[in-house]
Amino acid sequence: DDYVISGIGVAKADAPAAELLSKAPVIYISGKPSNNSTGFVYTSLVGSAAAYNYDRQAMEVLGFTVTDNAAEADLIIGASSLDAQALEAVKNGTPYIGYGSTAIRSAAKLFENGQLVRQTVDGSAMDALAYVTYPTVTATNASYVAEGDDILYGYGAGYFETIPDGAQVLVQLDGSKDLLEGFLPSDGAHYEDFLNNSIQAISYQGAGVDGADLDVVLFANTLTNKTHQRDEYNFISNTAFASVVTETIVGPSVDHDDDKDDNQEIDEGDTPLDPTPGFTDVADNFWGKEAIDAVVEAGLMQGTSDTTFAPNATTTRAMLMTILARMDGVDTTGGATWYTKGMEWAVAEGVSDGTNPEGVITREQLVTMLYRSFGSPEVSEEALTFADAAQISDWAADAMKWAVENGILTGKGNNTLDPQGNATRAELAAVLVRATAE
């Protein structure tokens, strides 16, 4: 039979940014028991591996390929403890999403003692259905934000009491709203703490104990405990697809306030549909055009191709280290990787410790590295008044103050700085231009 397919090309559509996937993600589920040597070979698998089987069933429902070799996996997952294979892979940088009390007890050992602490309402508490907020938007939770899905079911009644420096809060209980449902003793030792904006999920990219290179997403409670309750499965699938992203392709979509690093108002009509001759994805009326032109002319940044800049794509720690090294007059050519020379300079100058160079850089990390490259100038004692100032990591506090006081960082909409949000290429260009303006 003959078929006719018609459609609108992405270049002409009002489409959001697209992520290019290198392959279908392969999953390793931690905690699979060994086969029994006597009797029924799968006795342990069937009779005493509930958490693993919940995860196995979830991956089957989602249609992912599962491997028994962690070295072949794109993502390690599980409600069980990290087994030997999984632990080695996670320490070497394989992305990992762990959830629930058992997994978090195991994951806590990836950090120094006391850096990751999970607490629970009470020993007899079971679960809760609650309203949540998403302080930091990443690939893991972006679909929930886009859909306005502000409800989370968590089996375990737990929360993170302490999180590592540099961790991003992905999901937080909304303390302004009542619980929808739950089996929680109201006289539990930590009942009020749980209700008071408790942290439900975090992400962390950076150094762990014993030289570990971590890229982890952690949920305080399980995501796969109930097959009939599958809304939380997408946290796992989103993270899985993010593990095989190779490139962000930015189309002519609307530039919302959260895509820019200043307080200017941009109307829905200010869409980059009128491109400059240099970059087809940077319009004359795009908020970051002048900054992009300036950094490209100065040789600090380049386009992602001869005709595109990808202003709304994320960038990496390696990119910033290389740019700052160039600004200091360092020849960054040569080396084992394109960023080797820049990273060596950054470590030698105390700008960065060189960990996780290919990790996506956050806004507070960007500002902190820039601040250190300027010699860590003194800042005032006045506290920042932005609505999300409390989300600034302790190690980034002075850098963020410096950036605000000097007009390098002016905030986003709704009086926020979004310190733990990922920095875009356009934001990086704007920050560099402002920092070197004088």
Residue after which a domain boundary falls, among 199, 222, 246: 246
- Same domain as 185, residue 259: no
CATH number at residue 77: 3.40.50.880
Give mean pLDDT, residues 121-126. 91
| Domain-located, residue 230 | yes
Q: Which is higher by pLDDT, 22 or 221?
A: 221
pLDDT at residue 15 is higher than 80: no
- Same domain as 257, residue 155: no
| Domain-located, residue 292 | yes
- Same domain as 212, residue 358: no
- Same domain as 135, residue 60: yes
Q: Are 214 and 90 in contact (CB under 8 A)?
A: yes
- Same domain as 256, residue 234: no
Q: Is 411 helix (H, G, I), strand (E, B) or coil?
A: coil
How confident is the model over 30-41, as pLDDT tens digits?
Answer: 999 887 788 886
pLDDT at residue 267 is higher than 60: no
**In the numeric block, which tokens belong to residue 213?**
């290179």
Tally of domains within the chain: 2
Confidence bin at 149 (pLDDT 50/70/90): very high
CA distances from 191 to 54, 127, 128, 247, 325 (A): 27, 12, 11, 43, 50
168-173 vs 117-120, strand pairing mode: unpaired
| Domain-located, residue 10 | no
The residues that bridge with 378 in the sheet, in sequence order, are none
- Same domain as 215, residue 150: yes
**In the numeric block, which tokens belong to residue 347?**
């470590």
Residue after which a domain boundary falls, among 226, 246, 266: 246
Lowest mean pLDDT among 9-23, 82-96, 219-233: 9-23
- Same domain as 268, residue 233: no
Q: What is the pLDDT of residue 245?
A: 77
| Domain-located, residue 63 | yes
Give mean pLDDT, residues 314-336. 89
Nearest CA among 217, 206, 79 for reference residue 142: 217
Enter the DSSP assignment of 424.
Answer: B
CA distances from 73 to 89, 202, 367 (A): 9, 22, 34
- Same domain as 404, residue 272: yes
DSSP symbols for 241-287: HHTTEEEEE--S----GGGSSS-----TT--S-SB-SS-TTSBTT-T
Residue after which a domain boundary falls, among 246, 280, 308: 246
Percent of the chain with pLDDT over 70: 88
CA distances from 315 to 262, 287, 302, 311, 436 (A): 18, 18, 12, 10, 20
Q: Which is higher by pLDDT, 95 or 259?
A: 95
| Domain-located, residue 1 | no
Match 């989602």 to its residue by tokens: 62
**In the numeric block, which tokens belong to residue 182?**
């739950």
Q: Are 376 and 346 in contact (CB under 8 A)?
A: no
Q: What is the pLDDT of residue 9?
A: 52
Longest dimension (CA), the chain: 77
How confident is the model over 354-385, as pLDDT tens digits?
Answer: 888 888 899 999 999 999 999 999 998 888 88
- Same domain as 344, residue 288: yes
The domain in which residue 172 lies consists of 17-246
Q: Which is higher by pLDDT, 308 or 196?
A: 196
- Global pTM value: 0.57
Q: Average per-residue pLDDT in the chain?
A: 85
Nearest CA among 186, 178, 181 for reference residue 129: 181
